[in-house]
Chains A and B, each alone.
Chain A
Amino acid sequence: MRINRPLAFLVALLFTAVVVVGVFGTSWNTVSELPQNPEDQSNIEGIGMLLFTRYVVPFEVISIVLLASLIGAIYMAKGEGNR
């Protein structure tokens, strides 16, 4: 199959144009000033609290998913000896 590079570039350019026009034509409902205290600029503590209180079940589920996929990847890449 021959890759049509100019056509692919055109498709990517059109996609960019559509998304950028959509993004810049929308008035997003945002806060005007970020809520942060000047002593502690980081939000790591908030993320950690959220991760272990409200989103603790997805956190555990995603750990299982990551472990299973890594075991599967090692089995696929290394298993069955050499052919």
Chain B
Amino acid sequence: MIPLNFYLGLSALLFSIGLYGVMTHQNGIRMIMCIELMLNSANLNLVAFSSYTGTLNGQVFAIFSIALAAAEAAVGFAILMAIYKMHDKINLDELKILRW
């Protein structure tokens, strides 16, 4: 049986890859993909802890988290599509309409 530490280490690695992508990319779609990567690493943590403590509550939480990630991705892509219709680009560094 693989120790729990390796699952948590893999999750930390995935989260760091997502963090690096969010910090370096300017394309909106790539940033949303990296945010999904970070959310999925958190799901991996939930499922690992749930499995290694012998209860199923964490896996139910993971299902809720996946549903929320779907909602977030849908809203994010819709916002990006609306921005692309207005400006013909989704480079988030040149975007000023959502700032105050």
Q: Which residues of A contact B (CB under 8 A)?
A: 1, 3, 5, 8-9, 11-13, 15-16, 19-20, 23-24, 28-31, 33-35, 43, 46-47, 50-51, 55, 58-59, 62, 65-66, 69-70, 72-74, 76-77, 82-83
Contact = CB atoms under 8 A, between A and B. Distances in A.
A23 B16 contact: no
A73 B12 CA distance: 31
Interface residues of B, number: 40
Majority SS at the chain A contact face: helix
- A-B pairs, top 8 by smallest CB distance, nearest first, are A73-B78, A69-B71, A12-B20, A19-B12, A8-B23, A76-B78, A77-B78, A73-B74
Contacts of A65: 67-68, 71
Interface in B56-79: 56-57, 59-60, 63-64, 67-68, 70-72, 74-75, 77-79
Contacts of B79: 76
Contacts of B56: 43, 46-47, 50
Contacts, number: 103
Nearest to A11: B23
